[in-house]
Amino acid sequence: MSITRVAGLKLGHFTHAERPTGCTVVLCEAGAVAGVDVRGAAPGTRECDLLAPSNSVQQVHAILLSGGSAFGLDAASGVMRWLDERGHGLAVGAARVPIVPAAVLFDLWVGDGRIRPDAAAGYAACEAASSAEPQQGSVGAGCGATVGKLFGPEWAMKGGIGTASLTVQGVTVGAVVAVNAVGDVRDPATGRLLAGARSPQCGLRDTLAALQAGALPKALLAGANTTIGVVATDAVMSKVQMQRIATMAHDGLARTLQPVHTGFDGDVLFSLATGAAGKTLEPTVLGSLAAEVTAQAVLNAIRAATGLPGLPAHQDFP
Average pLDDT over residues 193-210: 91
Instruction: Please report the pLDDT score of residue 13 as a whole number.
Output: 98
Q: What's the pTM value of the predicted model, to 2 decimals?
A: 0.96
Instruction: Please report the pLDDT score of residue 8 as a whole number.
Output: 97
Q: Where are the domains of the chain?
A: 3-312
Residue-wise pLDDT tens digits, 117-135: 999 999 999 999 999 999 9
Mean pLDDT for the chain overall? 95
Residue-wise pLDDT tens digits, 280-311: 999 999 999 999 999 999 999 999 999 999 99
Q: What are phi and psi of 185, to 5 degrees?
A: -115, 125
Instruction: Please report the pLDDT score of residue 220 as a whole number.
Output: 73
Q: Are 35 and 243 in contact (CB under 8 A)?
A: yes
Q: Are 73 and 46 in contact (CB under 8 A)?
A: yes
pLDDT exceeds cutoff 80 at 205: yes
Classify residue 154 as left (phi > 0), alpha (psi -120 to 50) or beta: alpha
Q: What are phi and psi of 78, to 5 degrees?
A: -70, -35
Q: Are 298 and 75 in contact (CB under 8 A)?
A: no
pLDDT exceeds cutoff 80 at 141: yes
Average pLDDT over residues 47-75: 97
Average pLDDT over residues 54-76: 97
- Is residue 275 helix, strand or coil? coil
Instruction: Please report the pLDDT score of residue 200 as a whole number.
Output: 83
Report the C-alpha gap between 189 and 251 in whole angstroms: 14
Bond prior to 312 in cis (omega within 30° of 0): no
Q: Are 230 and 272 in contact (CB under 8 A)?
A: yes
In terms of Cβ atoms closer than 10 Å to its own Cβ (0-12, 13-18, 19+), residue 301 is buried
Instruction: Please report the pLDDT score of residue 256 as a whole number.
Output: 98
Instruction: Please report the pLDDT score of residue 317 as a whole number.
Output: 82
Q: Are 286 and 173 in contact (CB under 8 A)?
A: yes
pLDDT exceeds cutoff 90 at 251: yes
Instruction: Please report the pLDDT score of residue 216 as a whole number.
Output: 83
Instruction: Please report the pLDDT score of residue 201 as a whole number.
Output: 79
Instruction: Please report the pLDDT score of residue 213 as a whole number.
Output: 93
Specify the CATH architecture of the domain 3-312.
4-Layer Sandwich (3.60)
Q: Are 196 and 302 in contact (CB under 8 A)?
A: no
Q: Give the confidence band of 217 by pLDDT, cuts at 50, 70, 90.
A: confident
